[in-house]
């Protein structure tokens, strides 16, 4: 007797007598388990006889472009945050104040050229500080040692000028002669440091690489349609890396010394055509997908006269400047590929 295929009521009627509770529960569980196993086996048998269905080829396709995010990295350290500048000024002032209790002979041997120079400079500037203004450590006004908001002593450029001025002088008055027995102090000529802002910054020359030296600049070009974007072109029986190398040489000419950072795209942008294009193969081109590779420029400059991709103009822009030039959807696709500094 196959109890798995018979219900409890049928078994009870055939046996002509009642079944105990434990036997009834066993038969019920065995019936459910046997029915589930039979159903799974039936499904497997049906699935084995279903032939695979071939998927139809899509009638709408996207063209594939390779784009290049060519950048010039920062050339100098970033500008100081106002809090950092204020903290450094505080540290310099504190160092000068802590040095006051020591006699100058702790630093300079008595009756040496360095000692004489120090006394001369102290007589002129009336303070040991060279770049943070005058300070009287002893007297009724010794407590008044705060730099007011907007004071010239807190300006970084003013501090640099005072340091250079102090390093370039010996403190000697006009017409003063050397004391007997003292050697003449030879002054070394100090060149003024190059300013952080260049002539290109003053003129806002966006075609110059000698601007925004503390920021990363990116090459932006104007295509045939008058839109600003990164250099890009359609793949021509080549991979993305090979296409990016070709685009670099054909877009800006041979006067740029560049290198591709890697072979893996750092982002992509999808552009849908307003009007679809029917291809000779019978497919419909719905838009273009551009995959961007990262590159760096070490030397040289863009020369559009040598360009073979028909670009009309170019600019070197930082991230916040680039946002103002490109289309909104384009910016959404590329913003996470760009460095903030």
Query: Is 221 inside a domain boundary?
Result: yes
Query: Is 276 inside a domain boundary?
Result: yes
Query: Is 181 inside a domain boundary?
Result: no
Q: Are strands 313-317 and 217-222 parallel, antiparallel or unpaired?
A: antiparallel
- At residue 188, does pLDDT exceed 90? no
Q: What is the pLDDT of residue 43?
A: 53
Least confident stretch, 90-99, 164-173, 219-228: 164-173
Instruction: Kindly state whether residues 205 and 104 are assigned to the same domain.
Output: no
**Domain encompassing residue 153:** 82-167
**Nearest partner of 153 among 93, 80, 81, judged by Cα:** 93
- At residue 305, does pLDDT exceed 60? yes
Query: Is 184 inside a domain boundary?
Result: no
CB atoms within 10 A of CB 132: 22
Query: Is 180 inside a domain boundary?
Result: no
Instruction: Kindly state whether residues 162 and 201 are assigned to the same domain.
Output: no
Instruction: Kindly state whether residues 120 and 148 are assigned to the same domain.
Output: yes
Instruction: Kindly state whether residues 133 and 64 are assigned to the same domain.
Output: no
Number of domains in the chain: 3
- At residue 87, does pLDDT exceed 50? yes
Percent of the chain at pLDDT > 70 equals: 76
Instruction: Kindly state whether residues 37 and 66 are assigned to the same domain.
Output: no
Q: Residue 215's domain is classified under what CATH number?
A: 3.90.79.10
Q: What is the pLDDT of residue 15?
A: 47
Mean pLDDT score of the chain, rounded to an integer?
A: 79
Instruction: Kindly state whether residues 144 and 230 are assigned to the same domain.
Output: no
Residue bearing the bigger pLDDT, 321 or 276: 321
DSSP notation for 68-136? EEEEE--SSPPPPPHHHHHHHHHHHHHHHHHHTTS-GGGTS-TTSHHHHHHHHHHHHHSSS-SSS----
Instruction: Kindly state whether residues 286 and 219 are assigned to the same domain.
Output: yes
Given pLDDT bands bounded at 50, 70 and 90, which one contains residue 295? very high
Query: Is 190 inside a domain boundary?
Result: no
Query: Is 147 inside a domain boundary?
Result: yes
Given pLDDT bands bounded at 50, 70 and 90, which one contains residue 3? very low
Query: Is 30 inside a domain boundary?
Result: yes
Q: What is the pLDDT of residue 131?
A: 73
Instruction: Kindly state whether residues 67 and 117 are assigned to the same domain.
Output: no
- At residue 144, does pLDDT exceed 80? no
Residue 145: which region, alpha, beta or left (left: phi > 0; alpha: psi -120 to 50)? alpha
Given pLDDT bands bounded at 50, 70 and 90, which one contains residue 36? very low
Q: In Å, what is the CA distance from 57 to each residue of 60, 275, 283, 308?
A: 9, 22, 10, 35
Instruction: Kindly state whether residues 67 and 89 are assigned to the same domain.
Output: no
Q: Are strands 284-300 and 313-317 parallel, antiparallel or unpaired?
A: unpaired
- At residue 14, does pLDDT exceed 90? no
User: At 217, phi and psi to the nearest 5?
Assistant: -105, 145
Instruction: Kindly state whether residues 249 and 282 are assigned to the same domain.
Output: yes
Instruction: Kindly state whether residues 124 and 272 are assigned to the same domain.
Output: no
Q: What is the pLDDT of residue 52?
A: 57
């Amino acid at each position: 007797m196959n109890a798995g295929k018979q219900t409890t009521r049928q078994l009870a009627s055939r046996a002509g007598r009642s079944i105990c509770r434990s036997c009834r529960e066993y038969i019920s569980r065995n019936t459910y388990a046997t029915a589930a196993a039979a159903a799974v086996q039936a499904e497997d048998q049906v699935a084995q006889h279903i032939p695979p269905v071939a998927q139809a080829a899509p009638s709408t396709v996207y063209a594939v472009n390779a784009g290049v995010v060519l950048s010039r990295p920062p050339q100098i350290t970033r500008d100081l945050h106002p809090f950092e500048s204020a903290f450094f000024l505080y540290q310099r002032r504190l160092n000068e104040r802590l040095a006051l209790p020591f006699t100058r002979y702790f630093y300079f041997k008595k009756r040496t050229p360095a000692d004489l120079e120090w006394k001369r400079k102290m007589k002129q500037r009336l303070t040991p500080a060279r770049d943070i203004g005058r300070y009287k450590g002893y007297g009724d006004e010794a407590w008044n040692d705060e730099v007011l908001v907007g004071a010239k002593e807190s300006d970084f450029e003013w501090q640099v000028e005072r340091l250079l001025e102090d390093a370039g002088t010996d403190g000697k008055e006009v017409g003063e002669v050397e004391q007997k027995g003292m050697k003449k102090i030879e002054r070394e000529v100090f060149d003024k440091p190059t300013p952080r802002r260049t002539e290109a910054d003053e003129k806002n020359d966006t075609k110059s690489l000698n601007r925004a030296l503390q920021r990363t600049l990116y090459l932006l070009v104007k295509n045939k349609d008058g839109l600003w974007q990164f250099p890009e072109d359609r793949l021509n029986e080549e991979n993305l890396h090979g296409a990016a190398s070709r685009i670099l040489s054909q877009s800006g000419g041979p006067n740029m010394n560049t290198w591709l950072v890697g072979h893996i795209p750092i982002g992509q942008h999808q552009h849908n055509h307003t009007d679809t294009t029917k291809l000779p193969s019978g497919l419909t081109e719905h838009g273009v997908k551009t995959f961007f590779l990262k590159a760096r420029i070490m030397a040289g400059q863009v020369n559009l006269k040598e360009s073979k991709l028909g670009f009309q103009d170019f600019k070197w822009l930082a991230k916040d400047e680039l946002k103002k030039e490109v289309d909104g959807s384009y910016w959404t696709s590329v913003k996470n590929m760009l460095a903030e500094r």
